[in-house]
Amino acid sequence: MATSTTSHGPARITVLISGSGSNLQALITACNTDALPNARIVRVISDRKDAYGLKRAEAAHIPTTYHGILPYKKKQPDTSENPQWQAARRAYDAGLAQVVLADQPDIVVCAGFMRILSTAFLDPVKGANTPIINLHPSLHGDLVGAGCIKRAWDEYEAGKRRSTGIMIHYVIAEVDMGEPIVQEEISMEGCKTLADLEESIHDREHGLIVKGTKIVTQGLARHGGS
């Protein structure tokens, strides 16, 4: 079996989720196989308390943390100079960075994490030389932001496109514009409904998120860890 370790042992992975965690499950299943060798998920963090992905992690004996934004909103004043949502978002992200860095991960994987991460999170995590990667349901530079699958479907129905794609990319402040690690084009031909396209994309995502994570962890191993 191939190896992919950092200088201090197996690659330590923190996974951020918001929902059912099917991509998280793909990572859990792949850890310590040829698909993702010598890797360990050290924590799963969700911004939603009822996210089913937390149950998946608990079933695999992986530590979990619920990190919700409501307490941060309650602490922030709401003024025209300091909009409550903006201040709360930065405070939330700074708190999230502290939770993540406490585990000293080698990589942070956003696997269906539905929040846009601000520099209040990105700067301290990247300052610790910890790469952050994200799964996005579009090719690089094509569709950015939320609702990409529905937007692609609308264009397909209008005869403006015949394919879409998925990618794993590094997370930067500019949403979905970080350097792609791996991406895959997906033909839309034969899809009769939006649900068909969603199913096709989600099925392919499971393999791609494992592949992208492996590429990054192997890179860490070659360079002696983070």
- Hey, what are 44's tokens? 């799963």
The catalytic position among 136, 140, 206, 223 is 136
Q: Can you say whether the dihedral through the CA atoms of 226, 112, 214, 27 is positive or negative?
A: positive
The alpha-helical segments, DSSP class H, found in the chain are 22-30, 52-59, 70-75, 84-101, 119-127, 148-157, 194-222
- Hey, what are 157's tokens? 């129905």
Tell me if residue 61 is catalytic: no
How far is residue 169's CA from residue 6's CA, in Å, rounded to a whole number?
Answer: 21
Residue type, 139: L
Residue 188 vs residues 22, 141, 180, 183, 184: alpha-carbon distances, Å: 22, 18, 22, 16, 13
Catalytic residues: 136
